[in-house]
A and B are shown apart, each in its own frame.
Chain A
Amino acid sequence: AQTVTQSQPEMSVQEAETVTLSCTYDTSESDYYLFWYKQPPSRQMILVIRQEAYKQQNATENRFSVNFQKAAKSFSLKISDSQLGDAAMYFCAYKDSGYALNFGKGTSLLVTP
């Protein structure tokens, strides 16, 4: 079974600074997808970024980028120029050829002024 591990229950960053959230996963598959989701206090799940395992290039979406290390099974999220609106729970998720998303336990990000 695939497992997703987020080792940082809580992180804090100052506004305008950069923060990196960690995620590791375990799989024997070669073809899969990795995601970072944001869950703000409203609890609506929002897709932040997606990475296909076959792509060597790291995905980026504006201030959000990932460091995908396939051999190390690591998928970290970097948030640049942090904003107050970035405060939320962040979940790392894995999906292979099946339907289901496997979520990590989440990292609570606090952004301080």
Chain B
Amino acid sequence: GAVVSQHPSRVICKSGTSVKIECRSLDFQATTMFWYRQFPKQSLMLMATSNEGSKATYEQGVEKDKFLINHASLTLSTLTVTSAHPEDSSFYICSASQGAAYEQYFGPGTRLTVT
């Protein structure tokens, strides 16, 4: 089956610093990647959708300048949390798809803690 990896699985950073999370599709080409945020005991909230080579489309209420998304290749998307603050602490999950008619395959998630 299709495999999506995320790196790192856990990261702790100091307030005011930036942190980058990578999402890779290991055995398929992902034309579209998605970034979700999940708070404890809550559902997944879509943050943005990115198509390879294009600017990401952000959901309402998600700060574009804070959550920078790059999808430079068909197998890699990155989420950079800039000037992180404690309220950015959360579980971030990516997923990847070969297209609108195809499944989304999820990565294992990244737990971000901002101190």
- A residues engaging B (CB < 8 A)? 42-47, 50, 91, 97-101, 103-106, 108
Contacts and interface: CB of A to CB of B under 8 A. Distances in A.
Interface of B: 32, 34, 38, 41-44, 46, 49, 91, 93, 95, 97, 100, 103-104, 106, 108-109
A100 B34 contact: yes
Given A45-B93, A97-B100, A100-B34, A105 B43 contact: yes
A108 B103 CA distance: 24
Contacts of A104: 43
A43 B100 contact: no
Contacts of A42: 108
Contacts of A50: 103
B104 to A, nearest CB: 6
A3 B44 CA distance: 14
A99 B100 contact: yes
A52 B44 CA distance: 22
A75 to B, nearest CB: 16
A91 B108 contact: no
Contacts of B100: 97-99
A43 B109 contact: yes
A99 B103 contact: no
Contact of A99 (B34, B38, B42, B108): B34
A100 B46 contact: yes
B43 A47 contact: no
Given A97-B100, A99-B97, A91 B46 contact: no
- Shortest Cβ-Cβ A-B pairs, 3 listed: A45-B106, A103-B43, A44-B108
Given A98-B100, A99-B34, 12 more contacts: A43-B93, A45-B44, A45-B106, A50-B103, A99-B97, A99-B100, A100-B34, A101-B44, A101-B46, A101-B95, A104-B43, A106-B43
